[in-house]
Structure 1
Amino acid sequence: MNPKRKKILFILPTLTAGGAERVISFVAQNIDKSKFESTLLIVGHKEDAVYSVEEIPLIFLEKSRVLNATTNIFWFLLKYRPDVVLSSIGHLNTLMGLLSGFFPKTKLIVREASVISAMSDAKKENKEIPKKKYFLNFLASLRAKLGDLSLKWIDVVICQSKDMASDFINIFNLPEEKVVIINNPITQIYPLKTETDKTDIPRFITVGRLSKEKGHLRILNLLTKLNFDFRYTIIGTGPEKDSIFERMEKLGLSEKVNYIPYTEEVLKHISQHDLFLQGSYVEGFPNTVLESCLVGTPVLAFNVPGGTKEIITHGENGYLVETEKEYLHYLNNRLNLAPEQIRKSVEDRFNKSKILRQFEALFN
């Protein structure tokens, strides 16, 4: 006779395009159904969802803000009585920590998405990120103030990288045993690119949210220093779109850049390019970098706080550099890295079976 399945409630602010949304919805649908009963609760609107969810209950609260859903979440917890709750994204995690004090029999796991102190440092020190306050830093400050109270009832914090774990432990003075590191999994497979896809004109690509910490502007500045023709594709949306396009126009790059706001064929586009460019000043655990390696496209990235350095091995699946001078060097002098070698570098470390087993062990 099988033991009773554990009830796991996964909760997210939205199901829009994003790393947290993709990973959590993937885990919710793919953990062992003989041992776990999954439910996915979304604070936001059904019409905004871009990820398909099948074979498990999916509930939308149809609220525009997490704070407005507080009562709804409370009553859902009271009715559903999950054994474990897993939430992701900072402001929702704080709320869940506060609410979980009313449900002592339910274990609460929160998943972190960024290196908080590095985000703050980037804002203060980098000229591309103005010193004025913006919403992310307000949330970080608010969480710091509520930290002791909220974290009191959190059982485990999942961090996606070593830097993130160390940062979270230091900021909130948590015991190390309360923090676990689980990298993001490879959630889909796409055919490996072939050498025959190459063209005479180098093709570069960046995929990600158009926000200041992602460093699109410094990539554009570096591209102007190249003395050969190229094409550059940017995929993503975000608050810095206008600034990026203004800089692009000012630098005379508009005719060389192809912009795609959103596509469900990200892997196809990455596989059609020669080099993935990451300009970030800080990262959580970049899914698009992992996906680029999966299809065999090498990555050029700065060695910044976060999970990029746990994916990229310099000279094996890409290039990890310290300065813009080094970045420009590898734009001009790319090594001949074989697609098979690039894919192999991530397959064993981040395959879905391995990562799902880590989540299941945690739930148990």
Structure 2
Amino acid sequence: MNNKFNYRKKVLFVLPTLTAGGAQRVISFVAQNIDNKKFESTLLIIGSKKDAAYKIEKTPVIYLDKDRVLNAIPALFLFLLKHRPHIVLSSISHLNTIMGIMSLFFLKTKFIIREASVVSFMSKFGSKHKNSNKLHSFLPHLSYKFINIIVCQSRDMADDFMNIYKINKNKIVIINNPITQNYPVKKETNSNTGITRYITVGRLSKEKGHKRILRILSKLKFPFHYTIIGDGPYKEEVFAAIDKYNLNEKITYIPFTSEVSKYIALNDYFLQGSYVEGFPNTALESCLVGTPVIAFNVPGGTKEIITHKENGYLAESEEYFLKCLTSSSTFIPTKISESVKFKFSKNKIIDQYETLFSKITP
């Protein structure tokens, strides 16, 4: 090995899977883009390569081929024992909990977890099994006390995390999600067909608020079309709402596409109905291509992306959301894109992670 690499700090990034998802995209992106002259990056995946939705080319990837995080504990422990990384960064709550407990056995390793949601609000949309919730609540409270640093994606997330887990604020670091790919900015904001086009991209789950978007759209008095991209456990309820509001002829449904930015650019507005958001990557992507976002002002990172009337609207109620849909305001795609380009740029966010890694280890 070249001598200039001998001093590199070993950073292990751990994820349950590499399936399509915000945490997977961001963590794999950071793992591949930190300075390889300063850091030796490795990506460790609990699941299997066959499930991977992301192509990793710039850092080694190791798959444990386990179907559950719980089943991977022995293999994960042995991996840490063998490789002794200087830093371990994990994401997704159940894995973070395990890493907190495991940190007790590796006192020379610094453990960082990346929180992916505003926990207290997301819990309202989670399991209804009380015993399960009590167990899931107890374990993080215990294990997170042993974690060195918690990375939160937004100020709301950080405040919520400190409030729930009583973590010292000195352990909390706020790092927004980066722009992981540059997309061309569209040239036009409005359709020439006389039909206003709306789009939502995201998992079909209760907290994403698809049903309230459909309810609001049903009140529009002008021609429109609404594209929904995504899949998930709430699919039947979403389609039942489409039937209820007689919107079948106005809806295009796409379960999955690798061309999200292309579809967003073809629409006039990106609609976000979420009741809570960790850090909405698709809203950021929409701004990047120049499509304004209409979203509810909810806990999470939405308001750190959307500046009211600059790159979209933040609605406090369904009535105001409807008013935004009928607004005659004109947004300029290039200005929308510029509003997020530097703030969430690759260089800026990667630099924040590198600064954290350098600071946490001698």
TM more than 0.5: yes
Amino acid at match of 2:159: S
SS in structure 1 of the partner of residue 343 of structure 2? helix
Once the two structures are TM-superposed, the CA of residue 79 in structure 1 deviates from its matched residue by 1.1
Q: What residue is the counterpart of 1:115 in the other structure?
A: 118
Separation of aligned partners in 2, 1:177 and 1:141: 27
Cα offset for 1:149? 2.6
Give the secondary structure class of the aligned counterpart of 2:313.
strand
Structure 1 position 141, deviation (Å): 4.2
Amino acid corresponding to residue 164 of structure 2 in structure 1: I
- Identify the residue that residue 54 of structure 2 maps to in structure 1: 51
CA distance in 2, matches of 1:226, 1:142: 45
Deviation at 1:68, TM superposition (A): 1.0
In the alignment, is the contact (CA less than 8 A) between 2:189 and 2:333 conserved in 1?
no
The alpha carbon displacement at 1:285 in A equals 0.4
Structure 1 residue aligned with 2:128:
133
Residue pair 1:91, 1:139 contacting (<8 A) in 2 also: no
Aligned to 2:151: 158
Report SS of the residue matched to 1:320: strand
Which residue of 1 is the match for residue 318 of structure 2? 324
| Correspondences of 1:68-79 after superposition (within 5 Å) | 68-79=71-82
| Residue 346 of structure 2: aligned partner | 352
- Segments of 5+ residues of structure 1 without an aligned counterpart are 124-128
Query: Would the alpha carbon gap of residues 196 and 288 (structure 1) be closer, same or farther in structure 2, given more than 3 Å must change?
Result: closer
Taking a change above 3 Å as real, the CA distance of residues 178 and 292 of structure 1, as seen in their structure-2 partners, is: same
Match of 2:195 in 1: 201
* One-letter amino acid of the structure 1 residue matched with residue 261 of structure 2: L
Note if 1:295 corresponds to 2:289: yes
**Partners of 2:131 and 2:121 in 1: CA distance:** 15
TM-score by length of 2: 0.94
Indicate whether 1:181 and 2:184 are aligned: no
Work out which of the residue numbers 32, 37, 40 in structure 2 matches 1:37.
40
Distance change (3 Å), C-alpha of 1:295 and 1:34: same
Hey, what does 1:266 align to over in structure 2?
260
- In 2: Cα distance, 1:72 partner to 1:189 partner: 37
Contact 1:144/1:172 (8 A) holds in 2: no
Question: Normalising to structure 1: TM-score of the pair?
Answer: 0.94
The question of whether the paired residues in 1 share the 8 Å contact of 2:111 and 2:148 is answered with yes
Give the C-alpha shift of residue 144 in structure 1. Answer: 2.7
Q: Which runs of 4+ in 1 moved over 3 A?
A: 137-143
Q: Which amino acid aligns with 1:311?
A: I
Q: What SS class does the counterpart of residue 11 from structure 2 fall into?
A: strand
CA distance in 2, matches of 1:102, 1:210: 39
Identity in percent: 61
Residues 113 and 151, structure 2, Cα contact 8 Å, conserved in 1: yes
CA distance in 2, matches of 1:310, 1:59: 34
User: Aligned with 2:342: secondary structure?
Assistant: helix
Structure 1 Cα separation of the partners of residues 198 and 352 of structure 2:
34
Alignment match, 1:252: 246
Inter-partner Cα distance in structure 1 for 2:113 and 2:153: 11
Residue of structure 1 equivalent to 2:164:
171
Per the TM alignment, residue 196 of structure 1 is displaced from its structure 2 partner at its CA by 7.5
Using the TM superposition, give the Cα deviation of residue 242 of structure 1 relative to its aligned residue in structure 2, in angstroms.
1.2
Q: How many residue pairs were aligned?
A: 354
CA gap 1:141/1:19 in 2 versus in 1, 3 angstroms: farther
Classify 1:144/1:235 alpha carbon distance in 2 versus 1 (closer, same or farther; 3 Å): same
Q: CA RMSD in A?
A: 1.6
CA distance change for structure 1 residues 72 and 206 in 2, over 3 Å: closer, same or farther? same
Aligned to 1:126: none
Corresponding residue number in structure 1 for 2:279: 285
Does the CA contact (< 8 Å) of 1:94 and 1:143 recur in 2?
Answer: no
Residue identity in the other structure for 2:249: E
Q: CA distance change for structure 1 residues 18 and 66 in 2, over 3 Å: closer, same or farther?
A: same
Structure 1 residue 332: Cα displacement: 1.1
Counterparts of 1:33 and 1:198 in 2: how far apart (Å)?
45
Question: 1:65 offset after TM fit, Å?
Answer: 1.1
Q: Aligned partners of 1:75 and 1:180: how far apart in 2?
A: 29
Alignment partner for residue 184 of structure 2, among 165, 181, 191?
Answer: 191
The one-letter amino acid of 1:194's match is K
**In 2, Cα distance between the equivalents of 1:13 and 1:153?**
20
Q: What are the within-5 Å matches in structure 2 for residues 334-353 of structure 1?
A: 334-353=328-347
